[in-house]
Amino acid sequence: MQDPTALFTMGALPDLDRPVLVQALDGFVDAGSGRRLAREHLLHALDSDPLVSFDVDQLVDYRSQRPELTFTTDHWDGYTAPELAVHRIRDLDGTSFLLLHGREPDMQWERFIAAMEHIVATLEVRLLIGMDAIPMAVPHTRPATVIAHGTPPELVAEYPKWLPTVRVPASVGNLLEYRVAKAGTAACGFAVAVPHYVAHLDYPEAAATLLNSVARAGELSLPIEALARAAGVMRADIDKQMAESEQVASLVRGLEQQYDELTAGRGDGLLAEGARLPTADELAAEFEQYLSNRPESGDDTPA
């Protein structure tokens, strides 16, 4: 393996006092853009400074995920370069924590993980926390489900155990959690279950739920009010669509029954063998009008 420290540059080391590191890399599934919304909210709502910058030319396959150029009338006007970095952020109480964000590496995973292990050791990170959002057969009318995992298990002891043993496609973020935990650093992650019928929309409820979990695990004070307000607006929009479509309402009622049976101890889990989950296609026709009428942005969208 080539020297992993050649993958990044690090600024002057501030006094961090054994910080929490939150990883929120793009590339893995992000239902409802929960991880993206949470990450952007942290960067925009709190004071932050760049601390580590990775050489993306060594890690990114530009042809598989092409960055964007902006064309204006008769010339190229801007370029959105891929980024992979660690920022230092201060929470509402002034406590510093770290945020790993940007594009998941397409290549050199082992070298990137080795680089991150070096950074974790150098900055004396005490806890790594990951964020994910996955589409599941859950209703928006019930409390958000969080699938929690951690080493040691005491980190997530308060969360219900929703899943049996399953094999899933790997992501760099989850691999990082696995590796740093093996090396002796406490690590945990939270995956919020997003109703599959809104997984293609921005779903601020997912972001608010993730940041609540991060705040509890990391003992951080994070601003979540704007996300909570946006989540309320989103729920009202979905409820309106339900009221206008018996098919949508019927499917959601079915998910409610499944969820209630599960939480009452009568179900077999979110991925029960043989259970039929409504597909996105079944809801697509009913939600098409809803999607076309929903504004892309507005005053209630958090920064």
Q: Is residue 285 part of a domain?
A: no
Q: Is residue 45 part of a domain?
A: yes
Q: Is residue 212 part of a domain?
A: yes
Mean pLDDT of the chain: 87
pLDDT bucket at 270, cuts 50 / 70 / 90: low
Q: Is residue 278 part of a domain?
A: no
Q: Domain residues for 89?
A: 4-230
Beta-carbon count within 10 A of 262 CB:
19
What is the CATH number for 203? 3.40.50.10900
Q: What is the mean pLDDT of residues 182-201?
A: 94
Q: Is residue 55 part of a domain?
A: yes
Q: Is 8's pLDDT higher than 60?
A: yes
Q: Is residue 213 part of a domain?
A: yes
Q: CA-to-CA distance for 161 and 145, rounded, in angstroms?
A: 10
Q: Is 21's pLDDT higher than 60?
A: yes
Q: Which helix (H) or strand (E) holds 37?
A: helix 34-45
Q: Is 286's pLDDT higher than 80?
A: no
Q: CA-to-CA distance for 211 and 209, rounded, in angstroms?
A: 6
Q: How many CA atoms lie within 13 A of 150 on its CB side?
A: 29
Beta-carbon count within 10 A of 27 CB:
14
Residue 179 has a pLDDT of 97
pLDDT bucket at 280, cuts 50 / 70 / 90: very low
Structure-token pair, residue 266: 């009568």
Task: Name which residue leads in pLDDT, 287 or 76.
Answer: 76
Q: Which helix (H) or strand (E) holds 23?
A: strand 20-26
**Residue among 127, 303, 147 at smallest CA distance from 220:** 127
Q: Is residue 178 part of a domain?
A: yes
Q: Is 18's pLDDT higher than 60?
A: yes
Residue 269 has a pLDDT of 53
Q: CA-to-CA distance for 246 and 260, rounded, in angstroms?
A: 21
Whole-number percent of the chain with pLDDT over 70: 87
Lowest-confidence region among 31-40, 239-248, 293-302: 293-302
Number of domains in the chain: 1
Q: Is residue 205 part of a domain?
A: yes
